[in-house]
Amino acid sequence: MPLRTTGTTGKGVGVTIVPNTRATREFCRSLKKGMADLTPAMKLCAAVMHRSKLRTFQKNGMKPHWPALSPYTVMRREAGGVKRGYGQLRVTNRLYMSVQGYPHKKGLVWGSDDPRAKLLQEGGTAPAPKGWKKETVTIPPRKFVRIYRWDHRKMTEIVRDFVDEKVHGKAVRAK
Protein backbone atom coordinates (compact mmCIF):
# COMPACT_ATOMS: atom_id res chain seq x y z
CA MET A 1 0.00 0.00 0.00
CA PRO A 2 1.60 3.32 -0.99
CA LEU A 3 2.16 5.57 2.03
CA ARG A 4 2.58 9.29 2.35
CA THR A 5 4.99 10.51 5.02
CA THR A 6 4.96 13.89 6.67
CA GLY A 7 7.86 15.78 8.28
CA THR A 8 9.08 15.97 11.87
CA THR A 9 6.87 16.26 14.93
CA GLY A 10 7.42 18.74 17.79
CA LYS A 11 10.97 19.01 19.14
CA GLY A 12 11.87 15.44 18.28
CA VAL A 13 12.20 13.70 15.01
CA GLY A 14 9.41 11.47 13.77
CA VAL A 15 7.47 10.42 10.78
CA THR A 16 3.71 10.20 10.40
CA ILE A 17 2.67 7.45 8.04
CA VAL A 18 -0.67 7.88 6.33
CA PRO A 19 -2.16 5.34 3.91
CA ASN A 20 -2.56 7.22 0.66
CA THR A 21 -4.48 5.07 -1.74
CA ARG A 22 -7.97 5.41 -3.04
CA ALA A 23 -8.67 1.78 -2.14
CA THR A 24 -7.65 2.36 1.48
CA ARG A 25 -9.85 5.43 1.80
CA GLU A 26 -12.80 3.58 0.25
CA PHE A 27 -12.23 0.62 2.56
CA CYS A 28 -12.23 2.93 5.60
CA ARG A 29 -15.43 4.63 4.42
CA SER A 30 -17.19 1.30 3.87
CA LEU A 31 -16.02 0.01 7.28
CA LYS A 32 -17.32 3.15 8.97
CA LYS A 33 -20.62 2.81 7.12
CA GLY A 34 -20.89 -0.89 8.03
CA MET A 35 -20.17 -0.18 11.70
CA ALA A 36 -22.85 2.53 11.83
CA ASP A 37 -25.51 -0.10 12.56
CA LEU A 38 -24.58 -2.61 15.27
CA THR A 39 -28.12 -4.02 15.53
CA PRO A 40 -27.29 -7.57 14.28
CA ALA A 41 -24.49 -7.97 16.83
CA MET A 42 -26.56 -6.38 19.60
CA LYS A 43 -29.42 -8.83 18.97
CA LEU A 44 -26.97 -11.68 19.62
CA CYS A 45 -25.70 -9.89 22.74
CA ALA A 46 -29.32 -9.57 23.94
CA ALA A 47 -29.67 -13.36 23.60
CA VAL A 48 -26.55 -13.82 25.76
CA MET A 49 -28.01 -11.51 28.40
CA HIS A 50 -31.36 -13.33 28.28
CA ARG A 51 -29.63 -16.65 29.05
CA SER A 52 -27.74 -14.94 31.86
CA LYS A 53 -30.99 -13.56 33.29
CA LEU A 54 -32.48 -17.05 33.27
CA ARG A 55 -29.47 -18.49 35.15
CA THR A 56 -29.48 -15.61 37.65
CA PHE A 57 -33.15 -15.98 38.55
CA GLN A 58 -33.01 -19.79 38.66
CA LYS A 59 -30.08 -19.78 41.07
CA ASN A 60 -31.22 -16.83 43.22
CA GLY A 61 -28.28 -14.80 42.03
CA MET A 62 -24.98 -16.20 40.91
CA LYS A 63 -21.95 -15.91 43.16
CA PRO A 64 -22.34 -14.15 45.49
CA HIS A 65 -25.85 -15.52 45.98
CA TRP A 66 -28.63 -13.20 47.00
CA PRO A 67 -29.25 -12.79 50.73
CA ALA A 68 -31.79 -15.26 52.11
CA LEU A 69 -35.38 -14.19 52.59
CA SER A 70 -36.36 -13.29 56.14
CA PRO A 71 -38.06 -16.08 58.12
CA TYR A 72 -41.25 -13.98 58.25
CA THR A 73 -41.30 -13.60 54.44
CA VAL A 74 -40.80 -17.35 54.01
CA MET A 75 -43.65 -18.05 56.45
CA ARG A 76 -46.01 -15.61 54.63
CA ARG A 77 -45.15 -17.12 51.26
CA GLU A 78 -45.80 -20.66 52.46
CA ALA A 79 -49.09 -19.56 54.01
CA GLY A 80 -50.00 -18.03 50.64
CA GLY A 81 -49.23 -21.26 48.78
CA VAL A 82 -45.85 -20.31 47.32
CA LYS A 83 -43.62 -23.38 47.25
CA ARG A 84 -40.30 -23.28 49.03
CA GLY A 85 -37.44 -23.24 46.55
CA TYR A 86 -39.25 -21.10 44.00
CA GLY A 87 -37.01 -18.18 43.06
CA GLN A 88 -36.82 -15.30 45.52
CA LEU A 89 -37.74 -12.71 42.91
CA ARG A 90 -40.01 -14.94 40.80
CA VAL A 91 -43.16 -15.31 42.84
CA THR A 92 -45.29 -13.62 40.17
CA ASN A 93 -42.70 -13.55 37.32
CA ARG A 94 -43.51 -9.86 36.82
CA LEU A 95 -39.97 -8.67 37.57
CA TYR A 96 -38.37 -11.53 35.61
CA MET A 97 -40.46 -10.78 32.53
CA SER A 98 -39.73 -7.04 32.78
CA VAL A 99 -35.96 -7.52 32.40
CA GLN A 100 -35.44 -7.10 28.67
CA GLY A 101 -32.84 -6.10 26.13
CA TYR A 102 -33.41 -3.45 23.51
CA PRO A 103 -30.80 -3.70 20.75
CA HIS A 104 -30.31 -0.69 18.52
CA LYS A 105 -27.79 0.51 15.97
CA LYS A 106 -25.36 1.92 18.55
CA GLY A 107 -25.63 -0.63 21.34
CA LEU A 108 -27.85 -2.59 23.70
CA VAL A 109 -29.98 -1.30 26.56
CA TRP A 110 -30.57 -4.00 29.18
CA GLY A 111 -32.78 -3.49 32.20
CA SER A 112 -36.22 -3.38 33.73
CA ASP A 113 -38.97 -0.78 33.75
CA ASP A 114 -40.69 -2.43 36.72
CA PRO A 115 -41.23 0.20 39.46
CA ARG A 116 -39.80 -2.18 42.10
CA ALA A 117 -36.67 -3.01 40.09
CA LYS A 118 -34.38 -0.32 41.49
CA LEU A 119 -35.29 -1.14 45.09
CA LEU A 120 -34.72 -4.87 44.56
CA GLN A 121 -31.48 -4.28 42.62
CA GLU A 122 -29.90 -1.78 45.02
CA GLY A 123 -31.71 -2.52 48.28
CA GLY A 124 -33.26 0.03 50.62
CA THR A 125 -36.37 0.55 52.72
CA ALA A 126 -39.95 0.21 51.60
CA PRO A 127 -43.36 0.53 53.25
CA ALA A 128 -44.28 -2.66 55.06
CA PRO A 129 -47.20 -4.71 53.69
CA LYS A 130 -50.59 -4.23 55.36
CA GLY A 131 -50.93 -6.13 58.60
CA TRP A 132 -47.26 -5.94 59.56
CA LYS A 133 -46.26 -4.53 62.92
CA LYS A 134 -43.46 -2.44 61.37
CA GLU A 135 -44.04 0.58 59.17
CA THR A 136 -41.06 -0.11 56.89
CA VAL A 137 -38.96 -3.08 55.88
CA THR A 138 -35.32 -3.19 54.85
CA ILE A 139 -34.70 -5.01 51.59
CA PRO A 140 -31.13 -6.17 50.92
CA PRO A 141 -29.72 -5.68 47.41
CA ARG A 142 -30.27 -8.58 45.03
CA LYS A 143 -28.37 -7.81 41.84
CA PHE A 144 -30.33 -9.24 38.94
CA VAL A 145 -29.33 -6.77 36.20
CA ARG A 146 -25.62 -7.36 35.82
CA ILE A 147 -23.00 -8.58 33.38
CA TYR A 148 -20.93 -11.56 34.46
CA ARG A 149 -17.36 -12.16 33.23
CA TRP A 150 -18.43 -15.00 30.94
CA ASP A 151 -21.21 -12.87 29.45
CA HIS A 152 -18.75 -10.05 28.82
CA ARG A 153 -16.34 -12.47 27.10
CA LYS A 154 -19.15 -13.88 24.94
CA MET A 155 -20.43 -10.45 23.91
CA THR A 156 -16.88 -9.28 23.16
CA GLU A 157 -16.50 -12.32 20.90
CA ILE A 158 -19.79 -11.48 19.15
CA VAL A 159 -18.70 -7.91 18.48
CA ARG A 160 -15.27 -9.10 17.24
CA ASP A 161 -17.00 -11.50 14.86
CA PHE A 162 -19.22 -8.66 13.68
CA VAL A 163 -16.17 -6.48 12.96
CA ASP A 164 -14.49 -9.43 11.18
CA GLU A 165 -17.56 -9.75 9.00
CA LYS A 166 -17.33 -6.08 8.06
CA VAL A 167 -13.57 -6.26 7.42
CA HIS A 168 -13.20 -9.70 5.84
CA GLY A 169 -16.72 -10.57 4.72
CA LYS A 170 -17.20 -13.43 7.21
CA ALA A 171 -20.76 -14.08 8.43
CA VAL A 172 -21.71 -13.35 12.04
CA ARG A 173 -22.48 -16.66 13.72
CA ALA A 174 -24.56 -17.30 16.80
CA LYS A 175 -22.78 -19.46 19.37
pLDDT band for position 15 (50/70/90)?
low
Looking at the domain assignment, is residue 10 inside a domain? no
Looking at the domain assignment, is residue 2 inside a domain? no
DSSP 59-116: TTSSSSPPPPPPHHHHHHHHHTTPPTTS-TT-SSSHHHHH-EEEEETTEEEEE---TT
pLDDT band for position 125 (50/70/90)?
very high
Looking at the domain assignment, is residue 173 inside a domain? no
Looking at the domain assignment, is residue 78 inside a domain? yes
For the segment 23-61, what is each residue's pLDDT rounded down to a tens digit?
Answer: 777 877 777 877 888 899 999 999 999 998 888 888 776
What is the rounded distance in angstroms from the CA atom of residue 114 to the CA atom of residue 5? 57
Looking at the domain assignment, is residue 30 inside a domain? no
pLDDT band for position 17 (50/70/90)?
low
For the segment 138-150, what is each residue's pLDDT rounded down to a tens digit?
Answer: 988 888 888 888 9
pLDDT of 1 reads 45
Looking at the domain assignment, is residue 161 inside a domain? yes
DSSP 103-135: EETTEEEEE---TTHHHHHH-EEEEPPTT-SSS
Please provide the average confidence, as pLDDT, over all residues in the chain: 79
Structural domain containing residue 96: 39-113+148-166
Looking at the domain assignment, is residue 23 inside a domain? no
Backbone angles phi, psi at 8, to 5 degrees: -75, 165
For the segment 57-105, what is each residue's pLDDT rounded down to a tens digit?
Answer: 887 766 667 888 788 777 777 777 766 555 677 777 888 899 998 998 8
Neighbour count for residue 158 (Cβ, 10 Å): 22
Whole-prediction pTM: 0.70
Overall domain count for the chain: 1
pLDDT band for position 158 (50/70/90)?
very high
Looking at the domain assignment, is residue 29 inside a domain? no
pLDDT band for position 160 (50/70/90)?
confident
